[in-house]
Amino acid sequence: MSKCRVCEGEVRKFFDFGKQPLSDTFLTEQESGEAYHFRLAVGLCTRCTMVQLLEEVPRDRMFHHDYPYHSSGSRRMREHFAQTARDLLATELTGEDPFCVEIGSNDGVMLGVIKDAGVRHLGVEPSGGVAELARKDGVRVRTDFFEETTARLIAGEDGPADVIYAANTICHIPYLDSIFRGVDALLRPGGVFVFEDPYLGDIVERNTFDQIYDEHFFLFTARSVRGVAHRFGFELVDVHRLPVHGGEVRYTIARRGERAPSPAVPALIAEETSRGLAELGTLEKLGDGIDRICADLVALLRDLRGRGLSVAGYGATAKSATVTNYAGIGPDLLPCVYDTTPAKIGRLMPGSRIPIRSAEEFGRPYPDYAVLFAWNHTEEILAKEEEFAAQGGRWIVYVPEVRVL
């Protein structure tokens, strides 16, 4: 039996992907040694309803100097974070000398806009390489993991924060107790803790099972977030569904009693209840979808290869590690994956060891078919690569089901 990382209740497993490699570790051809593997299994806490992984990967194995994900790699996400920064500047950062802290600031995509507005800020980012990129843009960053001790140090050095913001980071952190204590130590009275992460409701609705990988330790709902906030003296006061990364929710959290919760909070929780998002039966059905999608994808790739057609992947996403390794897709079915990230190009996909090539080489020559692993950037990539379709190339998507576009 697994114990809940939030409440120590019993976590019941609803899907097991078996041994998986780390999703963001891209080895070179020469690095043939045994890569680190862990058991990727996901379950539901029967007490507090938090959906979580059963095995935790040590944080330094995932978030280190060479962490390859660069937030600024997508135009759409740059726009999203610029808008987020403008919203925070217009609402929460209006007092005298406001201070904004971002947990997991990556290459500074959000804080750069806060900096340009002349507002005091600090990014807390353990991955040294991306932190350095942010610093080059003039963003103030502390290379560190955010946790209670870090938060106390920041509060001592910079004073209290008006806003503590995080995107696609809080769900990566199993030690939420230390996070909330840290937020309590650093947040000014009346301030807010705002974070956005992939939403379990969207994952279930669209079968986006590849959102499950080492870094995504928690899959949040409004109900589970309200519960964890409550344990540490906070309250979930607002929720907004966001159309990025395949469906996320932005949670706004304040100290209990400081702000009246918006009606959007009970409304979303009621919707979750009617959809059975905290019931094991609902989540077990996700497993049927996972097995069907993986079988269909492998069958399609085998058929195309058998007919002598060329196929490649597009987007060496962290998500795709779950798909390729669970489905058993290797270089025989998919000879290469194209990507724009410098730190991934020339390396191998984790586990499957499919070579990654620069997206600039995609058209030299185009494959007949391309599996769109970066499905969360569909619009942007289809527009950028319109020549591929114009020349007869076909995109393959696999969520919510395997389809040739």
Which is nearer to ligand SAM, 167 or 312 (by Cβ)? 167
173 binds, among ligand SAM, Zn ion, ligand TMP, none (CB under 5 to 8 A by kind): ligand SAM
Contact residue for ligand SAM among 20, 106, 252, 340 (CB under 6 A): 106
Provide the minimum distance between the beta carbon of 367 and ligand TMP in the complex, in angstroms, as a whole number: 15
State the Cα–Cα distance between residues 326 and 331, nearest whole angstrom. 14
Q: Which residue is nearest to ligand TMP (CB)?
A: 315
Q: In what order do the strands lie in the sheet with 369-372?
A: 356-358, 337-339, 311-314, 369-372, 394-397, 403-404
Are 109 and 145 within 8 A, CB to CB? no
In DSSP notation, 136-149 reads HTT--EE-S--SHH
- Is 63 a binder of ligand SAM (CB under 6 A)? yes
Interface stretch with ligand SAM, choices 47-55, 103-111, 201-209, 254-262 (CB under 6 A): 103-111
Are 226 and 236 within 8 A, CB to CB? yes
State the Cα–Cα distance between residues 405 and 394, nearest whole angstrom. 6
State the Cα–Cα distance between residues 339 and 174, nearest whole angstrom. 29
Which is nearer to ligand SAM, 127 or 352 (by Cβ)? 127
Looking at the DSSP assignment, which residues form a beta bridge with residue 39? 19
**H-state helical runs in 212-327:** 222-231, 264-274, 280-306, 318-327
Which is nearer to ligand SAM, 24 or 385 (by Cβ)? 24
State the Cα–Cα distance between residues 13 and 286, nearest whole angstrom. 12
- Is 173 a binder of ligand SAM (CB under 6 A)? yes
Interface stretch with ligand SAM, choices 98-106, 185-193, 217-225, 303-311 (CB under 6 A): 98-106
The binding track of 113-152 with respect to ligand SAM, each residue x by CB under 6 A or -, is: -----------xxxx--x--------------xx------
Residues 2-61 that bind Zn ion (CB under 5 A): 4, 6-7, 9, 45, 47-48, 50
State the Cα–Cα distance between residues 65 and 55, nearest whole angstrom. 23
Kindly state the tokens that stand for 77: 């996400």
Are 197 and 176 within 8 A, CB to CB? no
Contact residue for ligand SAM among 25, 52, 71, 340 (CB under 6 A): 71
Chain residues binding Zn ion by CB under 5 A are 4, 6-7, 9, 45, 47-48, 50
Interface with ligand SAM by CB under 6 A: which residues?
Answer: 63, 67, 69, 71, 103-104, 106, 124-127, 130, 145-146, 167-169, 172-173
